[in-house]
């Protein structure tokens, strides 16, 4: 008996294709079923500074909002020390699974690669930015009994008197400002490093240190206890100190005093792109909430964090500028 192949070929091909499509569908469904939903467990944000400063305030406020949006706890863990290296290192060595992030000052991410000859992590290869929380203009505050009304008068005073500047971390903005001032004006301002702002401003208020640079909120907590503002950094005046001129307005033309740093939220390199984008998008959404607005008002910060794409664009443009400043100053911390 002969079989008409032409007659049976089409039904056979149709059936075969149906089987293949069915197998492919089952395989794809199985593969998707094996991809864990994110987030499926608590998210941890490591803060490389002690509680009480702007970095910690941002992390906790954003973390609470994030928890309500994602439906999982967001744990804030303070890991200060070694110029933020301890906290950053802990996250750099964490799994890139979208559950561990670190927040610190921009200087500890950008300039540390120049300030330290050897770090336990590679800032370019081991970490990736998510967003940057703006810090606004930083306040230059001095002990109230020092007879100086502006930065020029303070520099003249510092040339004749032993002077120390409190910094919230080695290699931070105030550390760089002290070093730059010494080089340009032949002063001998000594940098005294703290693990955050609270203790730094307390020592200025008591006269233990003569000057410091930090966030408005931390400065303001000591303003009635013996600390006075003589200038602010950045390109615009602090909304909370409209009568205090910027250092640029006072005649300082150095690039450093015009720049505004921030508080980057960073993840281990290799963290899924969708997770990075979601975390950044939630930061942008959080910035438009009433709680975020109150935080920015308290710290005198007019601007907001950006999405992932804009953050990466800014990172590529700004990081080289900060690195060059560190190189030009020749600062080394080891």
Residue 192 backbone class (left: φ over 0; alpha: ψ -120 to 50; beta: rest): beta
Quickly list DSSP for 136-188: -PPEEEEETTS--SSHHHHHHHHTTS--EEEESSTTSHHHHHHHHHHHHH---
Summarised one tens digit per residue, pLDDT across range 79-103 is 998 889 999 999 999 999 999 999 9
Residues written for the chain: 334
Question: Which SS3 state, helix, strand or coil, does residue 261 take?
Answer: coil
pLDDT class of 65 with cuts at 50, 70, 90: very high
pLDDT class of 12 with cuts at 50, 70, 90: very low
Q: Which pTM value belongs to this model? A: 0.78
The residues facing 309 across adjacent strands are none
Summarised one tens digit per residue, pLDDT across range 223-248 is 989 999 999 999 899 999 999 999 99
What's the pLDDT at 255? Answer: 84
């Amino acid at each position: 008996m002969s079989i008409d192949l032409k007659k049976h070929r089409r039904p056979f091909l149709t059936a075969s294709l149906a089987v293949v499509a069915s197998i492919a569908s089952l395989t794809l469904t199985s593969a998707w079923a094996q991809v864990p939903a994110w987030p499926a467990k608590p998210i941890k944000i490591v803060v490389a500074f002690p509680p009480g400063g702007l970095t910690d305030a941002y992390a906790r406020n954003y973390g609470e909002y994030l928890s309500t949006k994602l439906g999982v706890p967001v744990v804030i863990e303070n890991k200060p020390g070694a110029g933020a290296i301890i906290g950053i290192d802990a996250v750099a060595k964490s799994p890139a699974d979208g559950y561990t992030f670190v927040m610190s000052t921009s200087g500890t991410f950008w300039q540390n690669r120049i300030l330290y000859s050897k770090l336990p992590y590679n800032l370019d290869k081991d970490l990736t930015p998510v967003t940057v929380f703006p810090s606004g203009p930083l306040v230059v505050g001095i002990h109230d009994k020092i007879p100086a009304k502006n930065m020029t008068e303070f520099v003249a005073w510092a040339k004749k008197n032993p002077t120390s500047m409190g910094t919230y971390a080695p290699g931070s903005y105030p550390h760089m400002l002290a070093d730059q001032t010494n080089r340009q004006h032949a002063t001998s301002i000594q940098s005294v490093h703290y693990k955050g702002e609270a203790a730094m401003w307390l020592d200025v208020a008591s006269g233990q240190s003569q000057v410091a640079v930090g966030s408005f909120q931390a400065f303001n907590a000591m303003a009635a206890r013996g600390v006075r503002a003589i200038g602010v950094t950045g390109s615009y005046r602090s909304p909370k100190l409209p009568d205090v001129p910027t250092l640029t307005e006072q005649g300082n033309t150095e690039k450093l005093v015009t720049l505004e740093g921030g508080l980057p939220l960073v993840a281990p390199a290799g963290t899924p792109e969708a997770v990075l984008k979601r975390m950044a998008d939630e930061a942008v959404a959080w910035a438009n909430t009433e709680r975020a607005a109150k935080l920015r008002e308290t710290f005198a910060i007019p601007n907001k964090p950006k999405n992932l794409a804009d953050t990466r664009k800014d990172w590529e443009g700004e990081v080289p500028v900060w690195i060059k400043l560190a190189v030009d100053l020749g600062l080394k911390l080891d």
